[in-house]
Structure 1
Amino acid sequence: MLSLSELPTCPGLFSGSRARDGVLSRMRIPGGILNVQQCWSIANFVDRYSSGCLQVTNRANLQIRELHSQIPPSIWQDLQKLGLASRRVEVDPIRNIMASPTAGIDRQNLLDTRPLVAAWDNYLQTHPELSELSAKFSIGFDGGELVSIRNFRNDILLVAKRRQPNSEIIFSLHFNGVDTGIIIEESQCILVLASLTSAYLEYTKNQPRINGKKPRLRHLLADWGTAKYLEKVEKKLPFALRQEAIELFLKDISNNSCGTGILPVTSAPNGNLGIHSQRQSGFSYIGIALPLGKLESNQLRNLASLAQNLGGSTLRLTPWQNLLISDIPNSQVFEVKQQIADLGLHSSATHLDSCLVACAGSSGCASAATDTQSHALAMVRDLAQKWTIDRSINIHFSGCEKSCAQHQPIDITLVGIQIQQKGETIAGYNIYAGRKDLPFGRQIFRAVSVAEMSSAIERMLRVYQRFREPRESFGQFCDRWAIDKLQKLLSPVTHN
């Protein structure tokens, strides 16, 4: 590991970054899948070199906090042999390879994307020149699963579709959440990704840094536009890119009204939690809630043993900062659920601690105005004593307006600020809700102190449950009201 003076701002595994509580390091887990041996080795690693606590990130990677000693080269080599560290140190920061956590087991799966994840990871590992990419560069593979990652704004996303006239499965190409209209055969995916990445890398080398950082793909798109980018990419390919009219895609068996051949995404927040049947007859998976993604090393060991004894010997990390155990024989599901409870964990989507997403906050990031992690957990502990939700929602805490941990639409967003109150500076939040087309939604409350935060969120939840329409999500409920009427409805004067 580098000396403290050399640590980067965006951490990897081999070079962490400084945080208030020590050195922060991130372990790349392509596609989010860990085998039992990897889990045990990670648990031993964090016990020996940190506080024994891990955190699943919103890219389905692992974050290790409070690293407190130098780690010998032999340990890094052991992690590389286990597939837990890059074979080439220089490409370690390019860690964002995302896929649905239910790839290969989802009942709605069109195509198992796990081989594509492995192939793209291998391409990165064998092309060290790609270490010059932005560390936030992200690739996503969506196989048409019900538990979908399509709402996550990866730089480049490939989405499986079913196509006429022979029900062929192909991929559509998306940039930053926008469909380009380009379709790609499965056999072409890695070559197209390589060309897209090469053109992007050439762009970054000829552009100045933006606020001290390498240009992101969105900067390229804003500068060149999609057409020019694709033109440069096509010159690197031995075949022409194909663009096909959206009408040629089949409607799915669920009568998806968009008619794109893309199967519908589960609409319920935290729909990956709980017990679900797999496409493999007689087997189920269970989604386990991890409040703010936190996991103790002993819990990781025991979950790995549980997966080995009663499941498919893997743990699947999710971008919702939870994890899944898959391939559980239906006859063993009750036993697995009981053993999860014995570890102090649960699988309910309607526990308030299942609803949280938070950035590192001021304890781990110099940009954050508030300690999001402790504030979020304190809020749900307080609310759990007063209120029970009957439908899952998403609540996101961001320590600043960068909103690093938010990559999908959120029902309620709290953005950290500093408030001047009675001559003192205290921590507080602006609270937003609804409107997926806005960065945070519409602002409902401004400058709410930490002491008042729990009461404000409680009012929002109570009013929603009282006045919502059947099957109406929290975001839809908020969007149904004019902003002045919504603020009045949610005010403490009207509803205590």
Structure 2
Amino acid sequence: MTAAEIKGWCPGARRPMPSGDGLIVRVRPHGGALPVAALHALADASRRFGNGQIDLTRRANLQIRGVSQQTLAPLWDVMSSLQLLDDSAELEAIRNIVINPLAGLDPAEIADMRPIAAELENRLASEPELQALPAKFSFALDGGGRLPLSGLAADVRLVACGPAGSNRIAIGLAAADGVTWLGTTVMADAAAKAVRLARCVLQLSPTCRAAALPRPAIAAIRAELGLETSGTIQPESASPSQRCGLITLTDELCVTGLGVPFGRLDSDTLAHLAEILSAHAIGEVRLSPWRTLYVAAGRAVAGQIIADAATLGLIVDDADPMMRIDACSGVGCCSSTALATRQHARVLADAMARTRFQGSLHVSGCAKGCARSASADVVLIGESDHYRIVRNGTVRSEPCGIVDPAHLDPGAVALFKAREKADV
């Protein structure tokens, strides 16, 4: 096993990332949605040109794993035919935009952010100097509603504020302690302001990331953008009340939330899901940062989709402990660990159900913490042949004990209920 290497960048299609099971090729949908036909084509491409394993990422993208140098070009051909391949690695890297998965569908949203997302894509592509932005620089476009993006980290945030139809967008920057809200603008100017803001960060931040901006630079940026600052700028924060299962939007329309355990699908499962959706004349799937797929349908059809998805092993109930677990790929997919993280996480999911533990769990094969950057109630960090334990923290927090993988199941009561610093 080699030492953990934090690369500081994310895989792309034009710039795939080598891993323990081959190249990882990222697929970035436009506007957070994929046609069902594209979903089926990507499942087939994963089988033909990769190892048949597909990840859903925290940035609402897909990743095809196990690609080789020989199969990369034919995979690009498929992606190009689906209009999912950017002209260059630089253009692809800055097209890092996440929007609400129910945008344009949810009657409870304040604004449909899809037009802003489309304009932002075009503006980013038309300004070559912005290609110098770091590959992890991101934009979050939150229209509110049932599935807000309030917990998603992003360098630049555009959040609809005020009553529905008020046409106001709050603009914020990532900060060390959360978000610094700069002011508001009208929807028609939001994409242009976001691009100007990104340009300012590139010029004024020592790391080219928003969170590293010095305070005087933030004041200068606020003046540069000419935003409205009177009244309350900070939009109301909310958390989704439900992410999986049947979500009612109107009397006629529902959405099904289909969670993917650990964000990993095999190509057969994805193909079967695409076939199920096609049989019900469903044309589109929405992706999300919660590794959950969303499909809009009438109530009867939505109920059948949920039943069929459950037989495929997808998560259709928020109460399922798997919804509260993040686990990296582990041994066989990553050379930084010798631990079977996802196998261990499944053992712990059963233990969470038995002990009625309602908190979050992060199982990381090494100190990189690729699967989750946010704090979790319990964190296991792989080190050689064991895990270090962190409570209410991240992989960077001080550990309070260790646990042998062989003792995960019998030690679950202590792991999920103990508060003292002790080994398990």
**Normalized against structure 1, the TM-score is what?**
0.74
**Which residue matches 1:193?**
194
1:243 equivalenced with 2:243 (yes/no) = no
Q: 1:228 is matched by which residue type in structure 2?
A: A
1:228 equivalenced with 2:220 (yes/no) = yes
Q: CA deviation at 1:138?
A: 0.5
Match of 1:448 among 385, 403, 406: 403
Q: CA deviation at 1:410?
A: 3.2
**Which residue matches 1:281?**
251
1:218 equivalenced with 2:223 (yes/no) = no
Q: 1:139 is matched by which residue type in structure 2?
A: F
Q: Structure 1 residues 376 and 443, CA, compared in 2 at 3 Å: closer, same or farther? A: farther
**Which residue matches 2:170?**
172
Give the superposed CA RMSD. Answer: 3.2
**Which residue matches 1:396?**
362
1:406 equivalenced with 2:407 (yes/no) = no
**Which has the larger displacement, 301-310 or 144-153?**
301-310
**Which residue matches 2:420?**
487
Matches within 5 A, 1:265-276: 265-266=239-240, 271-276=242-247
1:381 equivalenced with 2:347 (yes/no) = yes
Count residues in correspondence: 415
Query: For 1:6-28, what per-residue CA distance to the aligned partner results, in whole angstroms no more than 9, with x for missing partners?
Result: x9963211221221221122122
**Which residue matches 2:144?**
144
Q: Structure 1 residues 383 and 191, CA, compared in 2 at 3 Å: closer, same or farther? A: closer
Q: CA deviation at 1:408?
A: 4.2
Q: Structure 1 residues 276 and 311, CA, compared in 2 at 3 Å: closer, same or farther? A: farther
Quote the Cα distance in structure 2 between the aligned partners of 1:346 and 1:360.
19
Q: Structure 1 residues 376 and 296, CA, compared in 2 at 3 Å: closer, same or farther? A: closer
**Which residue matches 2:303?**
334
Question: What secondary structure sits across from 1:83 in the alignment?
Answer: coil
Match of 1:264 among 214, 238, 241: 238
Q: Structure 1 residues 64 and 222, CA, compared in 2 at 3 Å: closer, same or farther? A: farther
Q: Structure 1 residues 381 and 403, CA, compared in 2 at 3 Å: closer, same or farther? A: closer
Q: CA deviation at 1:218?
A: 1.8
Q: Structure 1 residues 275 and 83, CA, compared in 2 at 3 Å: closer, same or farther? A: same
Larger Rg computed on CA atoms: 1
**Which residue matches 1:116?**
116
Match of 1:292 among 262, 275, 279: 262
Question: What secondary structure sits across from 1:12 in the alignment?
Answer: coil
**Which residue matches 1:56?**
56
Q: Structure 1 residues 242 and 96, CA, compared in 2 at 3 Å: closer, same or farther? A: same
Q: CA deviation at 1:360?
A: 4.7
Q: 2:238 is matched by which residue type in structure 1?
A: P
Quote the Cα distance in structure 2 between the aligned partners of 1:160 and 1:402.
34
**Which has the larger displacement, 314-323 or 394-403?**
394-403
Query: For 1:80-110, what per-residue CA distance to the aligned partner results, in whole angstroms no more than 9, with x for missing partners?
Result: 3422121444311224211122222235211
Q: CA deviation at 1:119?
A: 1.9
Quote the Cα distance in structure 1 between the aligned partners of 2:349 and 2:71.
41
Q: Structure 1 residues 149 and 323, CA, compared in 2 at 3 Å: closer, same or farther? A: same
Quote the Cα distance in structure 1 between the aligned partners of 2:349 and 2:270.
28
Q: 2:243 is matched by which residue type in structure 1?
A: N
Q: Structure 1 residues 346 and 72, CA, compared in 2 at 3 Å: closer, same or farther? A: closer
Quote the Cα distance in structure 2 between the aligned partners of 1:409 and 1:245.
32
**Normalized against structure 2, the TM-score is what?**
0.85
Question: What secondary structure sits across from 2:60 in the alignment?
Answer: coil
Quote the Cα distance in structure 2 between the aligned partners of 1:407 and 1:149.
16
Q: 1:186 is matched by which residue type in structure 2?
A: M
**Which has the larger displacement, 335-344 or 148-157?**
335-344
Quote the Cα distance in structure 1 between the aligned partners of 2:293 and 2:305.
14
The answer to whether the 8 A contact 2:150-2:238 is kept is: no
Q: Structure 1 residues 170 and 359, CA, compared in 2 at 3 Å: closer, same or farther? A: farther
Quote the Cα distance in structure 1 between the aligned partners of 2:227 and 2:352.
57
- Which structure 2 segments of 5+ residues have no match? 1-6
Quote the Cα distance in structure 1 between the aligned partners of 2:41 and 2:400.
46
Q: 1:330 is matched by which residue type in structure 2?
A: R
Question: What secondary structure sits across from 1:243 in the alignment?
Answer: coil
Q: 1:487 is matched by which residue type in structure 2?
A: E
Query: For 1:246-269, what per-residue CA distance to the aligned partner results, in whole angstroms no more than 9, with x for missing partners?
Result: 2xx8xxxxxxxxxx6626323x5x
Quote the Cα distance in structure 1 between the aligned partners of 2:342 and 2:10.
23
Quote the Cα distance in structure 1 between the aligned partners of 2:58 and 2:208.
22
Q: CA deviation at 1:77?
A: 4.5
Q: CA deviation at 1:323?
A: 1.3
Q: CA deviation at 1:44?
A: 1.9
Query: For 1:395-440, what per-residue CA distance to the aligned partner results, in whole angstroms no more than 9, with x for missing partners?
Result: 222345554433545333333334xxxxxxx33122212xxxx657
Quote the Cα distance in structure 1 between the aligned partners of 2:247 and 2:147.
11
Q: CA deviation at 1:354?
A: 2.6
Q: Structure 1 residues 224 and 304, CA, compared in 2 at 3 Å: closer, same or farther? A: farther
Match of 1:358 among 323, 327, 336: 327
**Which residue matches 2:386?**
427
